[in-house]
Structure 1
């Protein structure tokens, strides 16, 4: 049987900001092959698959030969590592707190309306949709407004569409990021199913978690493609040499009170939908909490009550940093105690800020830098830029950096003021294994100074070792409240 190339790439070159990312790259993907594409953060993986999908242009030849006789759509579909939707007027410039404002929800489609339009546009069979929704835990979200979805739920929606469409070439960039354990398992099963129907896959993901249909392995090194015989042959990055933490972060944060967070019988709902039910939670100074739960379990809403972004906080019995919510303190007075990173904050961050400005904005809890900072603060920013090895990007715009580098910049922003409470919501999304280990080592070092931590993460193998407590949510309710927690095995 004659080998049939589906994708043929010859002498492909790509430059960003005068930096050569891909250099005379060659790659042939034959029919029946499903590829894992690996490489360290910033190596050009996402750029390469965007070139294949026709979303950006470079120099060189890319030829895609679809099967015109096949029942599946002759398309190459790229599903990004995250997704930004538009409202009913075609705008996408939402602000961070808008997700929790019920008066703004009417500006976006519901999930069902979005899927209805997508199915009609692509002439898809609606009898196939429910199985996909069920597998990814999305059946109960049909009437939810898009703006009210969590980052993990947004990722799932794009995956629902992709699996439903079943294009001849499906390109998935970090598809498991932000998904809970069961959803990751079910996604692999769905990918195996559509592969058997003729969908070919290119995946950018951690090699430790793959669907069984992946049968080819490639890695980008120094702008060129290297073919590996097996997943075990993929290069393992050496451990980074850990630098000494900047001196200003070795000092204990200023503590306002012994009990930083106190919630008593807290309830949050949107109309008939109950998001949080009867939450009782206390966080004391110096404790390190792991917050877990499946996608949509209420984690992001719970954190929004802590960081001052949720308007329904005033209707509940919540004390933050020694003050009852609604007793006169401003949102900015609350945020002064907190360093926060979350996928949503990254979505809505000022894309016109440079790396230096983005990190420095953490002093003021702003999206971008709008104030002049003094010599001492400038020196602290420079120390963190050096610590995270971002020196060559210091004056670059945040938006032009590889996603992994963008995350490091925003992670540096969260700790710049040595906050009393550090809230890290999926902080390692977009980071490779080496960067993840490096960052979690930093968290372990930081927390030796008495800092209080709330850490959201699905992967038990990608957590800091310092965690001492655990809160597990399910459908908006606390099902586990563990006072002596130790990282052992992967849970929800």
Structure 2
């Protein structure tokens, strides 16, 4: 006989006066672990928040906890974004603040955050070390929260959730920002707590899932529809067939220097901790690179040097666009030639700007719009709004959009000025498979016109086709540099020889 744990009847929820969930019904029985997948903006996060009691909804949600279980009788929700506060209770951080020594002195350490969480929930501290080790987080205990990358912040929230082992655990996009090994170890930990009695609801479009997931669903037109495991990778995610905006496709990007980036024995340290170690890297105009490495390998710090955000750039032998850093150029002269998106930039972006204001601000490298952009810039912005399917949200505030739509707006902001150097740090976090393919197709189109590209991504299947070279970091050092096109050509040649009939 089935035992309902979560029972939802006639659930209705509106987001900014727009219906998202309409008379939704869902029953989760004991021993069921669900994957909720599907298109961005369909209402998955809204449903998760309603179950966890952190979003207002109309209808009936009943949770039947197991009175015989030793696990906490609670629904614990891990959001995709983690909003932390400093020691004075402030949370209005800005993008470059993580490199400010004074800011690190006013934010809590990971160790303090975990100690507070453990005491609040009366947890066993002897269980913590194995979880930290499994997620590669042990060495970060003395880091401050503001120093963590987006992937490291995600891991911290996952550590808390797994340590708590609630009776119902909801994870919103749990794999975002995690490297391959961390994903595998996370799945192993989720399988462990599932065996101990925790029931899981995962919101994700990823293919690699814990083996305990045994139910699948999507939200369509406000209703929950159960599907099979095979259906979640169906035709719903076919690539949109839409041409690249003309002002991007027809404009050839030219560089004033044949050498965009040149690093010679670059080192970055925070006290005794070495984050980058003797980095040597040269990027020539028009090259397309993928930057890879495990969480904490130094990728974000390396990119902060290129974008002019890290103060230690001046203490290193580092050339950008043919000029040695510190030779007189301003940070704004650097930024006007770079288009950037990163999880951290999204984190700290002004949420009170409209979609239009956010995109057009890319011409000025500002967070929000503070002047009249003029006719031509408005036209180009409108073209990108249409390309990304954001027409109905043009005048909507960013903080009123679902996460995936916010991401699309910031992607449009990144490319609106058709920059000389495009830096895309895990650009497709929060997007569904259709949107990811759509965006990477746009990147391929842009890169035919001379744009230099640095793309950060963990998985080959989610990279644009134009990638030529790879640099791999490990523990702050360059582990390898590889010409991908040559590797592909060699592999194809070997395959042709093997298949040749004599």
Question: Given the two structures, how large is their TM-score scaled by the length of structure 1?
Answer: 0.97
Q: Indicate if the aligned counterparts of 1:467 and 1:486 stay in contact, CA closer than 8 A.
A: no
Matches of 1:242 and 1:422 in 2, distance apart? 23
Counterpart for residue 75 of structure 2 = 76
- 203-212 or 141-150: bigger deviation: 203-212
Secondary structure, counterpart of 1:78 in structure 2: strand
Give deviations 1:277-297, integer Å, cap 9, x for gaps.
Answer: 000011110000000000000
What is the root-mean-square deviation of aligned Cα atoms in Å? Answer: 1.2
Look up the match of 2:294.
294
Match of 1:363 in 2: 363
Partner of 1:328: 328
2:288–2:469 CA contact under 8 A, matched in 1: yes
Q: Residue deviations 1:164-219, cap 9 Å, x none?
A: 00000000011011100000000000000000000000001125111000111111
The structural deviation recorded for 1:253 is: 1.8
Q: Give runs of aligned pairs for residues 173-252 of structure 1, distance below 5 A.
A: 173-228=172-227, 230-234=228-232, 235-250=234-249, 251-252=251-252
Contact 1:111 1:141 in 2 (8 A): yes
User: Which secondary structure state, in structure 2, belongs to the residue aligned with residue 231 of structure 1?
Assistant: coil
Match of 2:481 in 1: 481
In the other structure, the counterpart of 1:56 is 55
- Specify every segment of 5 or more residues in structure 1 that has no aligned partner in the other structure, as ranges: none
- Tell me which residue corresponds to 2:314: 314
Report the equivalent of 1:470.
Answer: 470
Displacement after TM superposition at 1:254 (Å): 3.4
Give the distance between the partners of 2:155 and 2:430, measured in 1 at CA: 16
Cα separation, 2, equivalents of 1:274 and 1:46:
38
Task: Return 236-245 or 152-161, whichever deviates more.
Answer: 236-245
Alignment-derived partner of residue 20 in structure 1: 19
CA separation in 1, counterparts of 2:278 and 2:459? 27
Quote the offset at 1:485 in angstroms: 4.3
SS of equivalent to 2:8: strand
- CA gap of 1:121–1:485, structure 2 versus 1, over 3 A, is farther
Equivalent position of 2:495 in the other structure = none
- Alpha-carbon displacement from aligned partner over 1:300-344 (angstroms, at most 9, x marks no partner): 000000000000001001111121111111111110110000000
SS in 2 for 1:46: helix
Question: 1:389-404 counterparts in 2 under 5 A?
Answer: 389-404=389-404
Deviation at 1:487, TM superposition (A): 9.0
Query: SS where residue 69 of structure 1 aligns?
Result: coil
> Aligned residue for 1:118?
117
For residues 426-460 of structure 1, the C-alpha deviation after alignment (integer angstroms, 9 at most, x for no partner) is: 00000000100000011001100010000000111
Write the distance in 2 (CA, Å) between the matches of 1:174 and 1:412.
Answer: 22
Residue aligning to 1:414: 414
Aligned 8 A contact 2:361 2:367 in 1 = yes
Residues 207 and 231, structure 1, Cα contact 8 Å, conserved in 2: no
Aligned to 1:169: 168
Residue 103 of structure 1 and its aligned partner are, at CA, apart by 2.4
Unaligned runs of 5+ in 2: 489-502
Return the alpha-carbon distance in structure 1 between the equivalents of residues 487 and 154 of structure 2.
26
Cα offset, 1:236, TM superposition: 3.4
Quickly say closer, same or farther: Cα 1:487–1:363, change in 2 above 3 A. farther
The separation in 1 between residues aligned to 2:243 and 2:454, in whole angstroms, is: 23
Q: Which contiguous aligned blocks of 4+ residues in structure 1 show a shift greater than 3 angstroms?
A: 483-488
Task: Give the CA deviation at 1:263.
Answer: 0.6
The secondary structure found in structure 1 opposite 2:453 is: strand
**How far apart are the structure 2 equivalents of 1:486 and 1:100?**
38
Q: Contact 1:467–1:487 at 8 Å: present in 2 too?
A: no
What is the aligned length?
486
Distance 1:46 1:77, change over 3 A: same
Separation in 2 of the partners of 1:383 and 1:248? 9
- Higher mean alpha-carbon deviation, 156-165 vs 319-328, is at 319-328
Secondary structure of 2:448's match?
A: helix
Distance 1:179 1:437 in 2: 20
Would the aligned equivalents of 2:38 and 2:205 in 1 still touch at CA under 8 Å?
A: no
The worse-fitting range, judged by mean Cα deviation, of 308-317 and 251-260 is 251-260
Cα contact 2:358–2:410 (8 A) shared by 1: yes
Distance across 1 between alignment mates of 2:286 and 2:87: 45
Q: Is the 8 A contact 2:423 2:454 kept in 1?
A: yes
What are the superposed Cα offsets for residues 366-391 of structure 1, whole Å, 9 maximum, x if unpaired?
01111111101100001101111110
CA offset at residue 402 of structure 1?
1.1
Q: Which moved more, 1:253-262 or 1:470-479?
A: 253-262
Counterpart check, 1:153 vs 2:159: no
1:460 touches 1:487 (CA, 8 Å); kept in 2? no
Measure the CA separation in 2 of the matches of 1:486 and 1:42: 40
Contact 1:102 1:270 in 2 (8 A): no
Distance 2:281 2:83 in 1: 32
Q: Distance in 1 between matches of 2:56 and 2:235?
A: 30
Partner residue of 1:458?
458
Task: Give the superposition deviation at 1:70.
Answer: 1.4
Cα distance in 2 for residues equivalent to 1:215 and 1:241? 30
What residue is the counterpart of 2:33 in the other structure? Answer: 34
